[in-house]
A and B are shown apart, each in its own frame.
Chain A
Amino acid sequence: KRIKTLATRNLAESAKKGGCGECQTSCQSACKTSCGIANQQCEKSKK
């Protein structure tokens, strides 16, 4: 009633699978000067 949980990727689950390494590095997108790792997308989740 009082707690609404948003749908999120479970990070602990992703730890079990390991990374594929195919995603973009954040420095190649927009920032170049301040890290925005979480602003990236998982390559496998891209539409």
Chain B
Amino acid sequence: MIHQYKMGGYNIVLDPNSGSVHSVDEVAYDIIGMYENHTPEEITKEIVERYGEKEGVTPEDVAEVLEDIETLKKEGKLFSEDTYRNLAIDFKNRPTVIKAMCLHIAHDCNLACKYCFAGEGEYCGDRSLMSFEVGKQAFDFLIANSGTRKNLEVDFFGGEPLMNFEVVKQLVAYAREQEKIHNKNFRFTLTTNGVLLDEEVMDFANKEMYNVVLSLDGRKETNDRMRVSRNGKGSYDLIVPKFKEMVKRRGDKEYYIRGTYTHYNTDFTKDILHMADLGFTKLAMEPVVASPDAPYALKEEDLPTLFDQYEKLAAEMVRREKNGKGFTFFHYMIDLEGGPCIAKRIAGCGVGTEYVAVTPWGDLYPCHQFVGDENYLLGNVFDGITNEEVRSRFKMCNIYTRPQCNDCFARLYCSGGCSANSYHATGSIEGIYELGCKLHRKRVECAIMMKVALAE
């Protein structure tokens, strides 16, 4: 399988199975497109007819390209085979280790964002804060089930985690004690709406948090349409100064200003550029997860606009990068030389296997998006995983068990997509979320176009 596309004035050929990326001229682009279904004679005749007169392309030129293609094939960089299927089968037989945890430290929130999948932070249940005892047990459970993994990740999540800041501090102190005893390295993330950010929180987060995710949707009118307080007031004016201060103090440590776009702002590139113009340089913007009948849900007819926006964003990012004013966008961060290995690309995000979510009272779910759905209750931090049937199903969710992924060039970039999105869109964790797939393919194309443009 190969994937060919044109974008930003570049002719790009991807070899998904090897991860190779080729930037080619028009002649090579057409020859590669014909290569598998035509004889060398047919290709030569067609290409010379097409390019001979206007560009002076000769049969010798065509022969040279055909030879180059053969060389790349032998090197495993073009038309390479998928030899990874057995790895996916092997995962089923491996003992499961847990290395990442989404800790729902608060099922309560001081905002009432209209698109919140957690239903104003309460996950369709009662408001609740995690006690230190439950959090401590969660960490003990994580350490005990992490096997030989050294790096353990915990995301303080909610709701709004800063509504339970005292317990956050106690748990971090406990983890720092335990990591010395068990030779582990806890990497914490804090996901916050920023309302309760103050000097103490900033200093603590900058000392202890490997990453902070700060929620902002972009322009004031975009943000304040959806991210509102319980009395309906927009949050932009309150949080932007706090985020600026937080990022200034953070220095070169990891952070993301992370937004959500909806049907109301399909021109989301303007929101991303607004955040960049505020001085933020590490940005993320995700399509909303919503019931299809929600007025803000993305629709199939939005796709041409969204595709255009992603291309505009990529072009503008290239322009700014070349002018020394670059910024990063999570979905365009593809490290061609240092990206994930094939095992990671097949295993995916680890939902329900390497990664679990913990409720304030200690119940375990496959991830934050399944919390509250009793069909997916895995167990609890006191008794461990008791629902092996559900865990086994997640263990076998991968690109080889999703027939729709068979011919998709992006499958080793998305690992089969998000099981929760699939579940909410189709009722099955083994399916795909088609709209999400289309957006992801476009993002991959844009990200690789940027690599080609910046490699010039």
B256 touches A3 (CB 8 A): no
Asked whether any CB of chain A lies closer than 8 Å to the CB of B294, the reply is no
A42 touches B340 (CB 8 A): yes
Q: Using A3-B65, A45-B338 as known contacts, say yes or no to A34 and B439 having CB atoms under 8 A apart.
A: yes
Neighbouring A residues of B413 by C-beta, 8 Å: 37-38
A21 touches B99 (CB 8 A): yes
Neighbouring B residues of A43 by C-beta, 8 Å: 151
Neighbouring A residues of B439 by C-beta, 8 Å: 34
Q: How far is the CA of A18 from the CA of B384 in the complex (A)?
A: 28
Q: Using A11-B17, A34-B439, A35-B417 as known contacts, say yes or no to A21 and B338 having CB atoms under 8 A apart.
A: no
Asked whether any CB of chain A lies closer than 8 Å to the CB of B275, the reply is no
* Residues of B bordering A, CB below 8 Å: 17-25, 27-28, 64-65, 68-69, 72, 76-77, 80, 83-84, 87, 97, 99-100, 102, 117, 149-151, 153, 155, 187, 189, 191, 211, 213, 256, 258, 260, 284, 286-287, 289, 330-345, 347-351, 354-355, 367-369, 412-418, 420-421, 436, 439-440, 444, 451-452, 455
A7 touches B336 (CB 8 A): yes
B99 touches A25 (CB 8 A): yes
B335 touches A25 (CB 8 A): no
Residue of A nearest to B57 (CB): A2
Q: How far is the CA of A26 from the CA of B415 in the complex (A)?
A: 11
In the assembled complex, the CB of A29 is this many whole angstroms from the nearest CB of chain B, namely: 6
Q: How far is the CA of A45 from the CA of B340 in the complex (A)?
A: 9
Give the A interface residue count (CB, 8 A): 42
Neighbouring B residues of A29 by C-beta, 8 Å: 189, 211, 213, 256, 330
Neighbouring A residues of B368 by C-beta, 8 Å: 27, 32
Residue of A nearest to B23 (CB): A4
Q: How far is the CA of A22 from the CA of B65 in the complex (A)?
A: 41
Neighbouring B residues of A18 by C-beta, 8 Å: 341, 343
B interface majority secondary structure: mixed
B339 touches A41 (CB 8 A): yes
* Residues of A bordering B, CB below 8 Å: 1-12, 14-15, 17-19, 21-43, 45-46
Residue of B nearest to A47 (CB): B338
Neighbouring B residues of A25 by C-beta, 8 Å: 99-100, 153, 349-350, 354-355
Q: Using A7-B336, A23-B344 as known contacts, say yes or no to A31 and B284 having CB atoms under 8 A apart.
A: yes
Residue of A nearest to B97 (CB): A21
Q: Using A1-B64, A25-B99, A33-B418 as known contacts, say yes or no to A15 and B84 having CB atoms under 8 A apart.
A: yes
Q: How far is the CA of A45 from the CA of B10 in the complex (A)?
A: 28
In the assembled complex, the CB of B216 is this many whole angstroms from the nearest CB of chain A, namely: 13
Q: Select one of B22, B27, B155 contacting A6, CB under 8 A.
A: B22
Neighbouring A residues of B211 by C-beta, 8 Å: 28-29
6 shortest interchain CB distances as A-B pairs: A45-B338, A19-B343, A14-B341, A30-B284, A38-B413, A2-B28
A6 touches B452 (CB 8 A): yes
Neighbouring B residues of A46 by C-beta, 8 Å: 338
Would you mind naming 11 contact pairs between A and B with Cβ atoms under 8 Å apart? A2-B68, A6-B23, A10-B19, A11-B18, A15-B83, A22-B151, A31-B330, A33-B260, A33-B287, A37-B345, A39-B330
Q: Using A34-B436, A35-B417, A37-B415 as known contacts, say yes or no to A27 and B349 having CB atoms under 8 A apart.
A: yes
Residue of B nearest to A5 (CB): B22
B339 touches A2 (CB 8 A): no
Q: Using A3-B68, A27-B100, A41-B340 as known contacts, say yes or no to A33 and B24 having CB atoms under 8 A apart.
A: no
Residue of A nearest to B27 (CB): A2
